[in-house]
Amino acid sequence: MKLRIATLGAILAGLTLLVPGVQAQTPAAGIVLAGAGATFPAPLYKKWIAAYRKVEPTVVLDYKVVGSGEGVKRFLADSVDFGASDAALSDEQIAAAPQGAVLVPATAGLIALVYNLPGLNGPLQLRRDTYAALLMGRIPRWNDARIQATNPGLNLPDREIVLVARLDSSGTTYALTNHLSVASTQWRDRGPGTGKIVRWPAGTMLVRGNEGVAARVKLSVGSIGYVEFSFAKHLGLPVAHLENKEGHYVAPSDGVGEATLAANLARIPANLRIFIPDPDGADAYPILSLSWLLLKERYTDQVKAQALKRFVNWGLQEGQQMSSELGFIRLPSDVVTRSQAALSRVN
């Protein structure tokens, strides 16, 4: 047990390098911008913050990685300068924002189903109804006939399936369950529904953050969980190839993510609160999510407002070049232009 705990600590320590509460010592006469929110984009935001210190050394960004739900809560309580969420604010939440709210799409990513099956002789392919049933707890073992049907050559073990899911209020959970509610009638009619927090089957291992799910799957033989693709990429976790709406099995990858988003640009509304629960396209990956920065429409401190706008604009331009190496989707130029237009409303 001591060895197991130590191993988990080592994995989480490695992921902490990927998603810490990003913070630095305040320089003399510096500007501190406090933010909080999603774990989904945190590796990219960490990279942005570190790089931006060289661009504007007197601006310090302190981003707390607390999950989308808590980030939204702090933003609406006006206790941070900016928030971050993988689920766009509702009309009611926008109306409740004390200083108004501007949603700026900053990045996008794919949600992967990661698993731990040592010795498996090939990638796992899952049909839509199969992964919905699996996440509902209705497929108890890995050698179930429904999994074998799409993986006839795999040496699937006679082992219990252990589901790993998010404990905290999560935009990643929202994106996954929103997809399942559209893609699967059994999930829609008899499943846990759509939300940042849902009721998972009895026996599910519940942990906090994308990094927590990734670390737990890495340690737990027979497990499967859901994370933003960058976390799977960082830990080298195998990812399931998922059936899309065209009946094709697609694995998450940097190129697939960019192509999926590009093929669905027409679905982006004027207010940028886009949800693509089941993307179009023969080669589309089926679970994609944008991630938004939540900014105030009105800042009482204009120095902070202008500093924050400079940072976000930098992230929408130079920062996008860092996306692919971390497993995120670089925003298409059309989305960047529209995000910059939204940013211009901040004053």
Residues 119 and 208 in one domain: yes
Per-residue pLDDT tens digits for 252-264: 998 999 999 999 9
pLDDT at 274: 78
Residues 198 and 157 in one domain: yes
> pTM of the prediction?
0.90
CA angle 256, 196, 209 (to 5 degrees): 70
Amino acid identity of 300?
A: T
pLDDT at 272: 85
Residues 118 and 91 in one domain: no
pLDDT at 9: 55
Residue 43 lies in a domain: yes
Running DSSP on this structure, what letter comes out for residue 80?
S
Running DSSP on this structure, what letter comes out for residue 263?
T
C-alpha to C-alpha distance for 285 and 239, rounded to whole angstroms: 12
129 CB contacts (<8 Å, ≥6 apart)?
Answer: 146, 184, 186
Q: What are phi and psi of 180, to 5 degrees?
A: -65, -35
Residue 305 lies in a domain: yes
C-alpha to C-alpha distance for 301 and 239, rounded to whole angstroms: 45
Residues 248 and 332 in one domain: no
Asked which of 209, 232, 267 is the last residue of a domain, the reply is: 267
Residues 131 and 242 in one domain: yes
Q: Show the domain range for 93.
A: 2-109+289-343
Which CATH number is 244's domain given?
3.40.190.10
Residues 83 and 131 in one domain: no
190 CB contacts (<8 Å, ≥6 apart)?
Answer: 136
In residues, how long is the chain? 347
Residues 233 and 308 in one domain: no
Residue 259 lies in a domain: yes
Quick check: 301 and 116 in contact, CB under 8 A? Answer: no
Residue 261 lies in a domain: yes
Q: How many CA atoms lie within 13 A of 43 on its CB side?
A: 28
Residues 232 and 293 in one domain: no
The domain tally of the chain equals 2
Residues 114 and 97 in one domain: no
Residue 224: name the closest of 142, 169, 158 by CA.
142
Quick check: 39 and 207 in contact, CB under 8 A? Answer: no
Residue 24: name the closest of 56, 50, 55 by CA.
50
Residue 65 lies in a domain: yes
Report the 10 Å Cβ neighbour count for 169: 20
Residues 103 and 52 in one domain: yes
Blockwise average pLDDT, block size 10, the chain, 347 residues: 50 55 52 97 97 97 97 98 95 96 96 97 97 98 98 97 97 96 94 96 97 97 97 96 98 95 90 89 96 97 98 98 94 94 96
Per-residue pLDDT tens digits for 105-128: 999 999 999 999 999 999 999 999
C-alpha to C-alpha distance for 72 and 174, rounded to whole angstroms: 14
Strand 241-243 relative to strand 102-115, pairing: unpaired
pLDDT at 21: 55
Q: 108-142 burial, b if ≥16 CB within 10 A, otherwise e?
A: bbbbbbbbbbeebeeebbbbbebbbbbbbbebeeb
Quick check: 251 and 123 in contact, CB under 8 A? Answer: yes
